[in-house]
Amino acid sequence: MLIDWFTVGAQVLNFLILVWLLKRFLYKPILHAIDEREKRIATELANADKKKAEAQKERDEFQHKNEELDQQRAALLGKATNEAQAERQRLLDEARKAAAVLSSKLQETSRNEEHALHQAIRRRTQQEVFAIARKALTDLATTSLEERLGEVFTRRLREMDGKMKAGLAEALKTASGPAIVRSAFDLPAEQRAAIQNALNETFSAEIRVRFETAPDLISGIELTTNGLKVAWSIADYLASLEKGVDELMKEQDKREAKAEPKAEAKAKSKPEDPKLETKSK
Amino acid sequence: MHLSPDQMIFWQFGFLKLNATIVFTWGLMFVLAVGSKLITRRLSVDLKRSRWQNLLEIVVTAIQKQIEEVGLSEPRKYLGFIGTLFLFVAAAALCTIIPGYQPPTGSLSTTAALALCVFVAVPFFGIMEQGVGNYLKSYMKPTFIMLPFNIISELSRTLALSVRLFGNMMSGAMIIAILLTIMPFIFPILMTVLGLLTGMVQAYIFGILAAVYIAAATRVRKPKPEPEAAH
């Protein structure tokens, strides 16, 4: 008999036990391991994808920020450039203004200096003219200049025209104090007597006179009483000379002022002109 | 010279007996179970894993894939039964290279037991899948005239399963035994190699047929799409 029924039963049992054993020890653990691994790989892949997405996002963000920064930088740079240009323009304008102010000051100063120089030259010329005149008079006259001045003064007193004489006489009479005779230097007693005599004779009265010295008269004598004045001095001549020179100067200044805006450089050569004109006069 | 290992009786007590078939079956069971246990004791879920684990994973996934290809959409449900059939038959055939070993599948009792298991498992899975009524109705498809033929086919294929495996394994063992007496050089080795091949083919056939029978029983009147079959 090929089939042993007990063995068949035993083998069925054995087979079922084997099925259970293999399920327990082989299929379940192996499948579990495979599943776990797949799950793990899936998780890792998902994580990698997530990280990649995050990285991409971060990269995008970074790029965006970079672009923003670039724009900001460009804007700042542009602004700074504009400001710098404006500042440069402002500084240049200021410098130009300052230069203009300085140059006008310089011109002013040079004009002032020129003016002062003119003044000094004028004064010096006057003094020199006086000195020369005095020297010449002293050298030429037989008597001293002062004596001569006294004589001239007395002569003029005597030669006064009637109208002036009457006015002066009236003034002398009404004067509360003595008449004042001013001279640039101390008059000697003789001259004082001569002047007194001349006054007495001219006005036919005893005139009270007080003598004073006034150095600013410049070689001259004047009689002052009650607001009226009779005088003769070189200063008068000088004054007329000075007047003429002054007029000339003023004319010159006006011309300079007109010519200034056109040609400032020419201003220096101008002062020579009045000298020439003074000479010619 | 025994025709079947059943006849090698080591111990007997009335009805109960311990023959070579049962002993070698136990041996195979022990090797399979302990081997699996030893390997799966330290399973790695990491990407790195031992060679033995790799081997078992290949074997298990290959069986799973085969079951799926037969048409069972949920291979894990049937993996325990069909996989064990295949592994047992394959192990029984592979061990023939061990001298003095008698394959338990060379005994008609064993193959009959396995065929009986399939005979029971087919309606079991069929009823599990589509209910008693539907399963019983499947015997009368396409018409009730087919009922006796279906029942006959059910019985005959079980018989065929058992006899096919038994004949192949027994003949292999017999040929080697006969050749050893006639010409004990080289030729028996060649025949052993051939026997290993036919043993593996028989294991494959046995497993695949069981899977086909179960698939036929579970897929009747269930034309539902198989999403996992696309793999």
Q: What is the mean pLDDT of residues A125-132?
A: 73
Domains: count for chain B: 1
How many angstroms separate the CA atoms of B65 and B48, rounded? 23
Q: What is the mean pLDDT of chain A?
A: 79
Q: B107, A7: Cβ pair inside 8 Å?
A: yes
Element (H, E) at B13: strand B9-13
Element (H, E) at B19: strand B16-19
* Residue-wise pLDDT tens digits, A193-246: 888 888 788 777 777 788 887 766 666 677 777 777 777 666 666 667 767 767
Q: A37, B45: Cβ pair inside 8 Å?
A: yes
Task: Name chain A contacts of B32, Cβ cutoff 8 Å.
Answer: 18, 21-22, 26
| ipTM for the predicted complex | 0.88
* Residue-wise pLDDT tens digits, A258-272: 765 555 444 444 444
Question: How far A42 CA sits from the closest chain B CA (Å)?
Answer: 12
Q: What is the mean pLDDT of chain B?
A: 87
**pLDDT at position B41, please?**
87
Catalogue the E-assigned strands of chain A: 179-183, 209-213, 220-225, 228-233
How many angstroms separate the CA atoms of A86 and A97, rounded? 16
* Residue-wise pLDDT tens digits, A140-154: 655 566 677 777 777
How many angstroms separate the CA atoms of A142 and A140, rounded? 7
Q: A15, B108: Cβ pair inside 8 Å?
A: no
Q: What is the mean pLDDT of residues A19-33?
A: 92
Nearest to B25 among A14, A33, A36 (CB): A14
Structural domain including B94 reads 5-230
The pLDDT-based confidence of A85 (bands split at 50, 70, 90) is very high
Looking at chain B, list the stretches that DSSP marks H as alpha helix, in order from N- to C-terminal side: 20-41, 51-70, 75-94, 108-137, 146-182, 187-219
Quick count: other Cβ atoms within 10 Å of Cβ B40? 20
Q: A25, B29: Cβ pair inside 8 Å?
A: no
Residue A135, pLDDT > 80, answer no
Nearest to A19 among B16, B53, B81 (CB): B81
* Residue-wise pLDDT tens digits, B147-179: 999 899 989 999 999 999 999 988 888 888 888
Q: B45, A16: Cβ pair inside 8 Å?
A: no
* Helical axes A28-140 vs B20-41, angle rounded to 10°: 10
Residue B157 contacts residue B206 (beta carbons within 8 Å): no
Residue B94 contacts residue B59 (beta carbons within 8 Å): no
